């Protein structure tokens, strides 16, 4: 049995690849910066988990020990605007560790696009990562893909939200003329898994795509038709990646810092120049774009989104930190006796946010989200992956799930822009079989005078919100609602 290392297991691709490798009978090891974010995944107990940061080079040597093949599925586009330098450093660290450990093979997922001076920074960086690994003497299989179509994919989500929310869609020059060969997520995963048992794919750059080529305008039109939406298009002469990123930031859940490099890449055709993938993997029959869209929409409607881009994305202004109850942290605590078991109370507050909303004074939550967006924050646009199931590391509107104790507790870390650091904790404490106590606690670590001013000025509003929220959770739990 071969031991396989997967980097980026909390990401969109990595989180879906791991269970498929396990199903194929491989022994899987994963490397994650925050292993706690993997808790609650169905496959967590079946893999080896190593904590490490590729950019810093932490624990790479230990993670590579005894590994036959390694998947490189990380990128830094969501971490920092200066992602090219981060990606190069990360690739060099990974390549050096893999070479020293004698890793027989590396499988890397990069981006399509012909090498030229006009290639975007994003695609150039993707190509550079593969080149760095080859220059290190590694046996690399580099898959290159364009837009990956699947529920939760960042590129697909941009198309989906623009088509859903704009009755008339502005068509910049590149949207009208640039060609793209989108590929379904299920096909990408099939290629990644099949490569392990396809010796002919070793040491090659393999371009993968769907069965047809489209312009971006055609892709939005096909999406709208799949949803039964009538959408118009108008030609727009104005164009800049910054302008397009701001539009995406305004209309979709995808923030400008992540959208900008993607928008810059719209000027490049991303089309397969060879049929190597079809020859090397004859059993994989790529889906057409319309069918891939329909599969993605079906997953969304069934609340069966396996992974989402939001899980891996953390705003670069919000550094992850652990919850500490100590001096310097302000606490606002609310307790509510409830005539319902703790498990029922948990099911109510574990389903908060997203389409269901925040149960009380929703307009105040939305006002806060608007204020956050106006100052460049994430706002309440990212929603949640599943309406009822919540996992550690996921996003929930403008929060990050920092800790989950199933049936008992949910701890959220604020990712909105604040003059300090904030947490919101829900806890159901059992009293007996049929009753419990709900505790809702807001913690805030203010930064300087402005942080303290912010908290105390909002204290009356917080008091009203939390009293109403605890009362509504009590009502729903006692009536068996969510």
Of the three residues 263, 282, 309, the one that is the final residue of a domain is: 309
Residue 337 and residue 264 in one domain: no
The confidence band for 56, taking pLDDT boundaries of 50, 70 and 90, is confident
* Mean pLDDT, rounded, for 182-188: 96
Claim to verify: residue 247 and residue 120 sit in the same structural domain: yes
197 pLDDT band, cuts 50/70/90, is very high
**What percentage of the chain exceeds 90 in pLDDT?**
52
Whether residue 317 is contained in a domain is answered as no
Q: pLDDT grade, residue 172 (50/70/90)? A: confident
Q: What is the mean pLDDT of residues 216-234?
A: 91
Predicted local confidence at residue 314, as pLDDT? 58
* Closest to 219 measured CA to CA, from 113, 293, 161: 293
Mean pLDDT value of segment 245-266: 82
**CB 273, CB 194: distance < 8 Å:** no
Please tell me whether residues 337 and 291 are part of one structural domain: no
Kindly tell me if the per-residue pLDDT of 7 is higher than 70: yes
Least confident range of 165-179, 195-209, 315-329 = 315-329
Decide which of 92 and 151 is more confident: 92
pLDDT of residue 323: 38
Is 303 part of any domain? yes
CA distance 22 to 266: 36
Residue 165 pLDDT grade (very low, low, confident, very high; cuts 50, 70, 90): confident
Beta carbons of 209 and 182 less than 8 angstroms apart: yes
User: Mean per-residue pLDDT for 73-91?
Assistant: 76
Q: Is 86 inside any structural domain?
A: yes
List the single range of 222-226, 381-385, 447-451 with lowest mean pLDDT: 447-451
How much is the average pLDDT of 100-114?
95
Q: Are residues 175 and 216 in the same domain?
A: yes
- pLDDT greater at residue 332 or residue 321: 332
- 354 and 388 belong to one structural domain: yes
362 and 415 fall within a common domain: yes
Task: Flag whether pLDDT at 358 surpasses 50.
Answer: yes
Mean pLDDT over 427-431 rounds to 90
- The whole-number pLDDT of residue 328 equals 60
User: How much is the pTM?
Assistant: 0.76
Do 245 and 337 have their domain in common? no
* Residue 432 to residue 157: CA distance in whole angstroms: 45
190/232 same-domain check:
yes
Is there a domain that residue 436 lies in? yes
Does the pLDDT of residue 318 top 70, yes or no?
Answer: no
Answer yes or no: do 96 and 221 share one domain.
yes
Owner of token pair 């800790």: 403
Residue that terminates a domain, selected from 282, 309, 336: 309
Average pLDDT over residues 91-115: 94
**The pair of three-digit structure tokens given for residue 251, joined into one six-digit string:** 């209309």
pLDDT tens string 8-25: 998 899 999 999 999 999
| Whole-number pLDDT of residue 411 | 93
The mean of the pLDDT values for the chain is 87
The band of 312, judged by pLDDT with boundaries at 50, 70 and 90, is low
For the ranges 55-64, 76-85, 123-132, 227-236, the maximum mean pLDDT occurs at: 123-132
Q: What is the 3-state secondary structure (H, E, C) of the chain?
A: CCEEEEECCCCCCHHHHHHHHHHCCCEEEEEECCHHHHCCCCCHHHCEEEECCCCCCCCHHHHHCCCCEEEECCCCCCCCCCHHHHHHHHHHHHHHHHHHHCCCEEEEEEECCCCCCCCCHHHHHHHHHHHHHHHCCCCEEEEEECCEECCCCHHHHHHHHHHHHCCEEEEEHHHHHCEECCEEHHHHHHHHHHHHHCHHHCCCEEECCCCCCEEHHHHHHHHHHHCCCCCEEEEECCCCHHHHHHHHHHHCCCCHHHHHHHHHHHHCCECCCCCHHHHHCCCCCCCCHHHHHHHHHHHHHCCCCCCCHHHHCCCCCCCCCCCCCCCCCEEEEEEEEECCCHHHHHHHHCCCCHHHCCCCCHHHHHHHHHHHHHCCCCCCCCCCCCCCCCCCCCEECCEEEEEEECCCEEEEEECCCCCEEEEEEEEEEEEECCEEEEEEEEEEEECHHHHHHHHHHHHHHHHHHHHHHHHHHHHHHHHCCC
The answer on pLDDT for 54 being more than 60 is: yes
Residue 314 lies in a domain: no
Position 189 scores a pLDDT of: 97
CATH number at residue 201: 3.40.50.720
Same domain, 245 and 385: no
Last residue of a domain, one of 280, 309, 338: 309
* Shared domain check, 329 and 261: no
- State the pLDDT at residue 195: 97
328: in domain: yes
User: Based on the domain organization, do 12 and 141 belong to the same domain?
Assistant: yes
* Count of structural domains within the chain: 2
Q: Does the pLDDT at position 276 exceed 90?
A: yes
Q: Could you tell me the CATH number of the domain that includes residue 462? A: 3.30.530.20
Bridge partners, 270 (sequence order): 180
Contacts of 470 (CB under 8 A, 6+ apart): 334, 335, 336, 438, 440
In a domain, 296, yes or no: yes
Q: Which residue has the higher pLDDT, 381 or 458?
A: 458
Q: Which domain holds residue 422?
A: 323-479
């Amino acid at each position: 049995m071969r031991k396989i290392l997967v980097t980026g297991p909390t990401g969109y691709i990595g989180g879906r690849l791991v269970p498929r490798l396990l199903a194929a009978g491989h022994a899987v090891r994963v490397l994650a910066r925050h292993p706690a974010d993997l808790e609650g995944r169905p496959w967590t107990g079946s893999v080896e988990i190593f904590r490490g940061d590729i950019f810093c080079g932490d624990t790479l040597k230990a993670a590579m020990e005894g590994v036959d093949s390694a998947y490189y599925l990380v990128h830094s586009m969501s971490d920092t605007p200066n992602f090219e330098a981060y990606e190069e450093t990360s690739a060099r660290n990974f390549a050096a560790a893999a070479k020293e450990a004698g890793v027989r093979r590396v499988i890397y997922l990069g981006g399509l696009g012909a090498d030229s001076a006009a290639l975007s920074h994003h695609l150039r960086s993707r190509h550079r990562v593969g080149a760095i690994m080859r220059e290190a003497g590694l046996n690399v299989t580099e898959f290159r893909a364009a837009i990956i179509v699947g529920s939760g994919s960042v590129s697909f989500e941009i198309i989906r939200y623009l088509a859903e929310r704009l009755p008339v869609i502005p068509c910049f020059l590149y949207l009208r003329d640039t060609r793209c060969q989108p590929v379904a997520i299920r096909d990408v995963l099939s290629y990644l898994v099949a490569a392990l048992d396809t010796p002919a794919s070793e040491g090659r750059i393999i371009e993968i795509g769907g069965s047809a080529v489209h312009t971006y305008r055609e892709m939005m039109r096909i999406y709208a038709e799949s949803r039964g939406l009538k959408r118009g298009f108008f030609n727009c002469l104005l164009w800049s990646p910054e302008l397009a990123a701001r539009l995406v930031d305004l209309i979709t859940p995808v923030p400008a810092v992540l959208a900008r490099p993607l928008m810059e890449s719209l000027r490049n055709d991303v089309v397969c120049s060879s049929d190597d993938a079809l020859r090397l993997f004859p059993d994989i029959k790529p889906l057409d774009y319309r069918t891939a869209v329909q599969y993605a929409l079906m997953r969304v409607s069934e609340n069966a989104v396996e992974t989402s881009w939001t899980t891996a994305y953390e705003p670069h202004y919000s550094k992850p930190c652990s919850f500490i109850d100590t001096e310097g942290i302000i606490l606002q605590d609310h307790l509510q006796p409830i005539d319902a078991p703790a498990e029922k109370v948990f099911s109510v507050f574990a389903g908060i946010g997203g389409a269901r909303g925040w149960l009380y004074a929703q307009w105040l939550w939305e006002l806060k989200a608007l204020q956050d967006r106006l100052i460049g924050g994430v706002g309440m646009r990212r929603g949640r992956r599943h309406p009822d199931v919540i996992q550690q590391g996921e996003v929930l509107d403008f929060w990050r799930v920092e800790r989950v104790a199933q049936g008992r507790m949910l701890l959220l870390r604020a990712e909105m822009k604040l003059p300090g650091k904030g947490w919101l904790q829900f806890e159901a404490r059992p009293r007996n079989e049929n009753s419990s106590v709900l505790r809702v606690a807001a913690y805030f670590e203010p930064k300087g005078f402005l942080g303290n001013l912010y908290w105390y000025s909002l204290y009356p509003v917080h008091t009203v919100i939390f009293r109403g929220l605890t009362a509504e959770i009590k009502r729903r739990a006692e009536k068996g609602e969510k």
